[in-house]
C-alpha cells in the first residue's frame, strides 16, 4: 500500500503532474533506465519531444525542455546542477572536481582555480608535444595501411589512443603510451564503456556510489576498471610535486596556483582536476572525430570542399593551430559534427530554484533538463534538414545567412553552457582542428562495408563500435 501511495502521489499530485510524457516516467526512473539499456537515450528524448511538445516529463521529478530559450533560462542561470553529477567524483568521493561539483557557487570557485591550466595561451605552449602525438598517430596509420590494406583499420581505436595520449601530454607531460604500444594498455579504454554504463545508472542512485567505485578500498586494491589511467595520473602528480623544473603543463599551472593561494585550493583538487580531464577530455573528443570522419564519407561535397581548402592552405607537416584556426570550411565541418553528433547523449540537468522557464513556473527542487541533441535539431534554428550532416549550413554568404549563422552559434552547445561550460574546450578544439586537417590532407578512407550505417551506443558519451576502414596514404601534390 505504501508503494501504491507513492505512485499515486507522484503521478497525480506532483507539481509537474500535468506535463505529458511516458507512463513509466510519471512515477519513477524506469523510463530513463530503460532508455539507458537500449543505448539510445538521445534519440528517444528527441522522439518524446516530437510526440509531446516542448515540455516532457522524463521522470517523476524531471522535465526535459526543447525550447531554445531554455539554454539561456536554465543552463545560463545560477541553478545548481542535479545530484546526478556527483558520480564523477573519481577515483573516489574524496576527489570532487568541476564535473562532480553541484553547487553553482562552489563550481565557480573550482573553475577559477583550474582556469589558468586550460587557458588557450597555456595550451599553445605545449603545442609541440601535441604535435608529437599527432605525428606518431600518422606514423602508425601509415604503417597499418601498408600492412593490412584489405583487412582495414579500426579507426575508432586509434582515434581513442590519440585523444587519451594528447590529454596526458597536455595535463602532466606524459602520454599514456597507447599510440606507442598500439594497444589498449590494461584494457583501460575498453573498460571506459563499462564505466559509462555505470555512470549512467548509478548517477541516479548516488548513495550507492560511495559503496561501489567511489569506495576508497576499490582504488586501494586496484579494482577500478580504468586503473592504468588513474595510476598514471597519481604517479604524475606525485612526481611533479617533487620536481620544480617541470614543463608548464596543466598540472604545473595548478600546482603553482595552489602554492600561490593555498587557502583557495586544496591539495586533492589538483588530482581531481587531472582525473576529470581524463574522463571529459578524451572520450568526447574521440567521439566527435569519429563522427566527422564518418559523416564526411556521406557528404562528399563537403569533403571535397574541405580537401581543396586544406590542400591550398600550404600547411606545415604537422598543421599548426595558427594555420588552421581561420579555415572556414574546416570550422564548418567541425561545427556540424558537434551539432549532429554531440558527444554527451544525456540532457544537462539543473535544479529549479523556483523559476519560470519558457513561460512555465517550476517550484524549487524540480529537475530541468536540456538535451543538446534536442536543441541541435530545432528546425527553427538549424533549418529544415536537422537530421542531415550538412557543413554548408555554417557558411554564411549574405546578411540573412549571417544572422541565421549567429543564431546557430548561440545554440551550439556541445561543451555545455553557462557556468557548467566544459573548461577543456580550448584543448579539444585545438587537437580536433589539427587532427582533422592532417587526416584529410594525408589520407583517404572508406568503410570496408561501404554505405553501412554505424552502430553506436549512448550511455553517457556516444561512440561507435566496429567501424573498420580501408585507409590509404594520400600523395600530396
Q: Answer yes or no: are the C-beta atoms of 395 and 404 closer than 8 Å.
A: no
The predicted pLDDT at position 312 comes to: 96
pLDDT range class, residue 441, cuts 50, 70, 90? very high
Q: Is the peptide bond before 195 cis (omega within 30 degrees of 0)?
A: no
Contacts 24+ apart (CB under 8 A), 358-367: 358/54, 358/55, 358/65, 358/67, 358/69, 358/70, 358/73, 360/55, 362/15, 362/16, 362/63, 363/15, 365/61, 366/15, 366/16, 366/61, 366/62, 366/63, 367/59, 367/61, 367/62, 367/63, 367/82
Residue 326 has pLDDT above 60, yes or no: yes
| Percent above pLDDT 90 for the chain | 50
Distance between CA atoms of residues 473 and 477, nearest Å: 13
C-alpha closest to that of 248 among 134, 136, 129: 129
Q: What is the per-residue pLDDT for 39?
A: 81
What pLDDT, on a 0 to 100 scale, did the predictor assign at position 227?
56
Q: Mean pLDDT, to the nearest integer, of 275-286?
A: 79
Q: Let me know: does 413 contact 310? Beta carbons within 8 Å.
A: no
Binding residues for heme: 422
Distances (CA, A) of 123 to 108, 169, 174, 233: 21, 10, 15, 18
Out of 72-76, 223-227, 334-338, 385-389, pick the least confident. 223-227
Q: Sorting pLDDT into bands at 50, 70 and 90, what band is 32?
A: very high
Q: What's the pLDDT score for residue 452? A: 74
Residue 459: its pLDDT value, please? 60
Question: Which pLDDT value is given to residue 134?
Answer: 97
Cβ atoms within 10 Å, residue 151? 11
- Predicted confidence (pLDDT) at residue 223 exceeds the cutoff of 80: no
Tens-digit pLDDT profile for residues 353-408: 999 999 999 999 999 999 999 999 999 999 999 999 999 999 977 777 888 999 99
Pairwise pLDDT comparison (188 vs 394), residue with the higher score: 394
What is the mean predicted confidence (pLDDT) over 439-461? Answer: 78
- Residue 471 pairs in a beta bridge with 445
**pLDDT value of position 207:** 82
C-alpha cell at 232: 598514471
Average pLDDT, the chain: 87
User: Cis peptide before 190, with omega less than 30 degrees from 0?
Assistant: no
Most confident of 89-103, 166-180, 258-272: 166-180
Residue 148: per-residue pLDDT: 67
* Residues annotated in a binding site: 422
CA angle 424, 107, 375 (to 5 degrees): 60
Q: Which residue has the cell 541553478?
A: 79
The stretch 270-279 carries a mean pLDDT of 80
For residue 131, name the pLDDT band (cuts at 50, 70, 90): very high
> What's the average model confidence in pLDDT over 82-89?
89
Distance CA 286, CA 167 (A): 11
Q: Which residues pair with 464 in a beta bridge?
A: 456
- Assign 306 a pLDDT band (cuts: 50, 70, 90): very high
At 334 the pLDDT is 97
* Domains by residue range for the chain, with CATH: 1-75+345-376 (no CATH), 81-299+419-433+443-477 (1.10.630.10)
* C-alpha span between 303 and 333 (Å, rounded): 9
Q: Per-residue pLDDT for 280 more than 80? A: no
CA dihedral 38, 101, 270, 227 (to 10 degrees): -30
Report the pLDDT averaged over residues 133-145: 94
Whether 29 contacts 200, CB under 8 Å: no
Instruction: Give residue 225's pLDDT band: very low, low, confident or very high (50, 70, 90).
Output: low
268: which residues sit within 8 A by CB, 6+ positions away? 94, 95
Amino acid at each position: 500500500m505504501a508503494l501504491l501511495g507513492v505512485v499515486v502521489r507522484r503521478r497525480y499530485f506532483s507539481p509537474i503532474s500535468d506535463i505529458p510524457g511516458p507512463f513509466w516516467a510519471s512515477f519513477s526512473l524506469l523510463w530513463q533506465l530503460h532508455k539507458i539499456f537500449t543505448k539510445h537515450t538521445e534519440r528517444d528524448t528527441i522522439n518524446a519531444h516530437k510526440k509531446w511538445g516542448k515540455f516532457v516529463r522524463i521522470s517523476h521529478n524531471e522535465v526535459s525542455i526543447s525550447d531554445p530559450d531554455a539554454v539561456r533560462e536554465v543552463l545560463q542561470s545560477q541553478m545548481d546542477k542535479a545530484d546526478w553529477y556527483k558520480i564523477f567524483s573519481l577515483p573516489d568521493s574524496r576527489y570532487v572536481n568541476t564535473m562532480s561539483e553541484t553547487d553553482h557557487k562552489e563550481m565557480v570557485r573550482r573553475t577559477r582555480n583550474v582556469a589558468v591550466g586550460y587557458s588557450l595561451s597555456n595550451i599553445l605552449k605545449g603545442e609541440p608535444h601535441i604535435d608529437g602525438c599527432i605525428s606518431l598517430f600518422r606514423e602508425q596509420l601509415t604503417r597499418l595501411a601498408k600492412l593490412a590494406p584489405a583487412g582495414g583499420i579500426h579507426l575508432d581505436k586509434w582515434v581513442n589512443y590519440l585523444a587519451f595520449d594528447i590529454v596526458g601530454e597536455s595535463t602532466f607531460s606524459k602520454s599514456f603510451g597507447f599510440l606507442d604500444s598500439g594497444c589498449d594498455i590494461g584494457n583501460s579504454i575498453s573498460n571506459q564503456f563499462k564505466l559509462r554504463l555505470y555512470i549512467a545508472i548509478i548517477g541516479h542512485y548516488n548513495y550507492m556510489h560511495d559503496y561501489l567505485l567511489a569506495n576508497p578500498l576499490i582504488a586501494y586494491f586496484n579494482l577500478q576498471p580504468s586503473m592504468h589511467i588513474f595510476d598514471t595520473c597519481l604517479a604524475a602528480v606525485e612526481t611533479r610535486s617533487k620536481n620544480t623544473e617541470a614543463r608548464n603543463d596543466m598540472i604545473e599551472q595548478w600546482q603553482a596556483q595552489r602554492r600561490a593561494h593555498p587557502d583557495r585550493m586544496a591539495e586533492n583538487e589538483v588530482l581531481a582536476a587531472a582525473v576529470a580531464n581524463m574522463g571529459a577530455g578524451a572520450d568526447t573528443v574521440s567521439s566527435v572525430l569519429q563522427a566527422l570522419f564518418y559523416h564526411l564519407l556521406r557528404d562528399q561535397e563537403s569533403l571535397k570542399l574541405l580537401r581543396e581548402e586544406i590542400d591550398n592552405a600550404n600547411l606545415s607537416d604537422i598543421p599548426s593551430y595558427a594555420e588552421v584556426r581561420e579555415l572556414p570550411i574546416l570550422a564548418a565541418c567541425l561545427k556540424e559534427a558537434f551539432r549532429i553528433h554531440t558527444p554527451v547523449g544525456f540532457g544537462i540537468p539543473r535544479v529549479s530554484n523556483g523559476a519560470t522557464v519558457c513561460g512555465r513556473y517550476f517550484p524549487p527542487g524540480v529537475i530541468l533538463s536540456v538535451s543538446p541533441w534536442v536543441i541541435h535539431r530545432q528546425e527553427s534554428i538549424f533549418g529544415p534538414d536537422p537530421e542531415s550532416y550538412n557543413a554548408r549550413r555554417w557558411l554564411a554568404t549574405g546578411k540573412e545567412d549571417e544572422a541565421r549563422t549567429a543564431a546557430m552559434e548561440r545554440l551550439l552547445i556541445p561543451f555545455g553552457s553557462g557556468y557548467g561550460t566544459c573548461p577543456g574546450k580550448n584543448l579539444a578544439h585545438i587537437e580536433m582542428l589539427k587532427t582533422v586537417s592532417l587526416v584529410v590532407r594525408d589520407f583517404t578512407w572508406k568503410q570496408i562495408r561501404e554505405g553501412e550505417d554505424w552502430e553506436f551506443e549512448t550511455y553517457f558519451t556516444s561512440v561507435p563500435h566496429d567501424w573498420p576502414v580501408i585507409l590509404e596514404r594520400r600523395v600530396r601534390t
